[in-house]
Amino acid sequence: MKRALIVVALAAPALAHADDAITGTYDVKYDEAGSTCDPKPLTLTKSKLTIAIKKGALNVSFDPAFQLVGKATTDGSINAKTAKLIGTQIGGLSARYTVVGRAASGSVQLALTAQYIRQDTNKPYCAQTWNLTGTRAAAAK
């Protein structure tokens, strides 16, 4: 019985430490990896990305403002998606965003995909993918 208590006591600090290793705000650069869209609905170059973990849920927020949600992991892996379709500046299109990759040692390497959906037919229209790289932003003093 004492061993079980010791294992639980050791697992909680390890999980908290893993959360601290990836959470924070990052300055990221986008490199377009591919697109089936013509014209391209979205152009991304640089922005802020925030990773937070609350109650075991992974939240990834991008500037422009959309948030992706996934499950927190202890190894720095990131896999999150938007909970619902997000409206776009292109009339008649909504988008579903997904991000996969890794955060470790103060840096992130991610792939962001936007799957555009026609609002009139609710069917896929085209997709864009970006590779994101960045480092943790310096804390404000």
Ordered DSSP codes for the chain: -HHHHHHHHHHHHHHHHHHHHH-EEEEEEEEEEEE--SS-S----EEEEEEEEETTEEEEEETTTEEEEEE--SSSEEEEE-SS-EE-SSTTEEEEEEEEEEEETTEEEEEEEEEEEETTT--EEEEEEEEEEEEEPPPP-
Domain housing 51: 2-136
Nearest 5°: CA angle at 92, between 35 and 113?
A: 30
Q: pTM for the whole thing?
A: 0.81
Q: How far apart are CA 77 and CA 112, in angstroms?
A: 14
Please report whether residue 26 resides in a domain: yes
Please report whether residue 64 resides in a domain: yes
- Count up the domains in the chain and report the number: 1
Identify the CATH number of the domain in which residue 113 sits: 2.40.128
Please report whether residue 95 resides in a domain: yes
Please report whether residue 116 resides in a domain: yes
**pLDDT tens per residue across all 141 residues of the chain:** 333 333 333 333 333 444 567 899 999 999 999 999 988 888 889 999 999 998 889 999 987 678 999 987 888 899 999 999 988 888 889 999 999 999 988 999 999 999 999 999 999 999 999 999 999 987 654
Please report whether residue 141 resides in a domain: no
